[in-house]
Structure 1
Amino acid sequence: MTTFSAEHQTLLDSVPAGAGARIEEETVDYDHEGTALEGYFTHDAAITDPKPLVLVVHDWTGLREYPKARAQMLARLGYAAFAVDVYGKGIRPEGEEAPAAEAGKYYGNLPLLRARVQAGYDKAIADPRVDASRVVVIGYCFGGSAALEFSRTGADLRGVASFHGGLVVHDPSDAKQIKAPLLILTGAADPVVPDDNVIAFENELRAADVDFEVVTYSGAPHAFTLPGIPPYRPKADARSWQRLTGFLTEVFA
């Protein structure tokens, strides 16, 4: 099993595994149009029936420990979790400038961003251990934006959740393609997603009659759920996780 850093282990330990649980994990090689990708799958092997699937999209530093810890938290709740790899095998940028540059490639090419999430979705739903009719996509920061973009493809999803993700308004709008309810968890002190941006995004969804909920956390800046960095806000993190678990219970029912 993955050995997590102290802050990510603390995060994982906030969701105790059930009695008799057997959490298993594996690296999953797949590709998108010739680009090698390396995802991460985890589930409770003690549950033998196909399980609802949660796709987890990483933040702008790539598929590192953090999305794997979140995936294991979901596995402890009885879901199958697949952390997708948007960037490509071995591409895990560090520092400040490199992650911004890598993420910028996809913000500047939204069809490619959607396609990379699609590749992970296609790989994950082919696994017999998952229930392909019950899929939710979630994401953090860059991954939140990616999850919302993927919803615009009209994919057959039960729900989509974005944690402090960028809210990209489209003109012309393609929001009518969204079939799944959206849960948007954002910070009230996030300069990346100011109030005007939230309102503009809501207005686009309203015009398309999309089922959405926006929850704003006071004092929470961008990246408020990522432990080990200054923007982390434990209260907003705990509250947003609780809202996610309620959302999953609702949409998977």
Structure 2
Amino acid sequence: MKAFLKSIALLGLFVVSAKAAEITEKTIVYQEGETQLEGYAALPKEAEGKLPVIVVVHQWMGLTDYEKMRCQQLAKLGYLAFAVDIYGQGVRPSSMSEAGAQAGKYKSDRALYRKRLNAGLAEALKQPQADPDKVVAIGYCFGGTGVIELARSGAEIGGVVSFHGGLDSPTPADGAKIKARVLALHGADDPHVKAADLAAFEEEMRKHEVDWELVKYGGAVHAFTQKMAGNDPSKGAAYDARADQRSWQQLMTFLGQVFGQ
């Protein structure tokens, strides 16, 4: 009898877990100035009440299935995840040269980049399930640069997490505007981030007394969370399963701390 009751209890847990894993996905068209943008949201299917918000900023190829996958992962954990669109609706590079041109446009115009980032944040907070008091932004590569720019814009959010993002400080005085906790997850052997940029980032954070962390993963290069980067570190960008897993766990710990979970 005890074994039977235990089986029923376990079945009940399985049903609840399966139900919790169900998510709702939707495409959301929004504006920044005269530019139409197309974001993506994922959240628990039967969410009740307000949900912590994770804003996801894409890598240089634009909003792709990769960012949607990350949003789905987060939604299954109980978050409202919103992937912003920086480039504009229908602007999805098909080559590295196109991606470089698009990313370069915003890296050279940080004011425009911040406008697009804040437009995405505002759209995320328009979702009826969004808890405006519990918001974190995460970004990958180009998007990793972006979330730090979002923080530098003075955004009223709890934290930002940069995965293998550019860490240069073109306007270090803007560090004074940062209200969010900052976590930078960095490949120790990333050739795309210069030692001078790392030093400038650290100095900016220290000077303005930001609550910040910089975690380096030994042996990891650029794009270490992305399988589409291949597995050849000699190219400067490659997937690293160990760094991917460790950085995701670092994110989970960070979210728990920021959201008080």
158 and 195 in structure 1: CA distance in 2 versus 1, 3 angstrom threshold? same
| Secondary structure, counterpart of 2:91 in structure 1 | coil
- Paired with 1:82 and 1:168, the residues of 2 have a C-alpha distance of 25
8 Å contact from structure 1 (residues 18, 76) kept in 2: no
User: What is residue 159 of structure 1 aligned with on the other side?
Assistant: 159
- Paired with 1:236 and 1:43, the residues of 2 have a C-alpha distance of 26
* 1:69-94 CA-partner distances (Å, limit 9, x unpaired): 00111101110000000000011102
User: What is residue 7 of structure 1 aligned with on the other side?
Assistant: none
User: What is residue 12 of structure 2 aligned with on the other side?
Assistant: none
8 Å contact from structure 2 (residues 168, 198) kept in 1: no
- Paired with 1:18 and 1:218, the residues of 2 have a C-alpha distance of 35
Q: Answer yes or no: is 1:49 the counterpart of 2:49.
A: yes
- Paired with 1:250 and 1:64, the residues of 2 have a C-alpha distance of 29
| Overall identity of the aligned pairs, in % | 47
**TM-score for both structures, normalised by structure 2:** 0.88
Give the aligned residue type for 1:100. G
Give the total of aligned pairs: 237
What do you get for the CA RMSD once the two structures are aligned?
1.2
220 and 48 in structure 1: CA distance in 2 versus 1, 3 angstrom threshold? same
Structure 1: gaps (5+ residues)? 1-16
User: What is residue 5 of structure 2 aligned with on the other side?
Assistant: none
How far did 1:172 drift? 5.0
How far did 1:196 drift? 3.1
**TM-score for both structures, normalised by structure 1:** 0.91
Q: How does 1:6-85 map to 2 (within 5 A)?
A: 18-21=17-20, 22-85=22-85
User: What is residue 246 of structure 1 aligned with on the other side?
Assistant: 253
Moved beyond 4 Å, runs of 4+: none
8 Å contact from structure 1 (residues 151, 179) kept in 2: yes
8 Å contact from structure 2 (residues 168, 200) kept in 1: no
User: What is residue 105 of structure 1 aligned with on the other side?
Assistant: 105
How far did 1:34 drift? 1.0
- Paired with 1:25 and 1:54, the residues of 2 have a C-alpha distance of 14
Give the aligned residue type for 1:20. K
How far did 1:228 drift? 2.6
More helix per residue: 1 or 2? 2
Larger Rg: 2
User: What is residue 169 of structure 1 aligned with on the other side?
Assistant: 169
| Secondary structure, counterpart of 2:228 in structure 1 | coil
User: What is residue 8 of structure 1 aligned with on the other side?
Assistant: none
- Paired with 1:186 and 1:50, the residues of 2 have a C-alpha distance of 32
Structure 2: gaps (5+ residues)? 1-15, 231-237
Give the aligned residue type for 2:83. A
Give the aligned residue type for 1:137. A
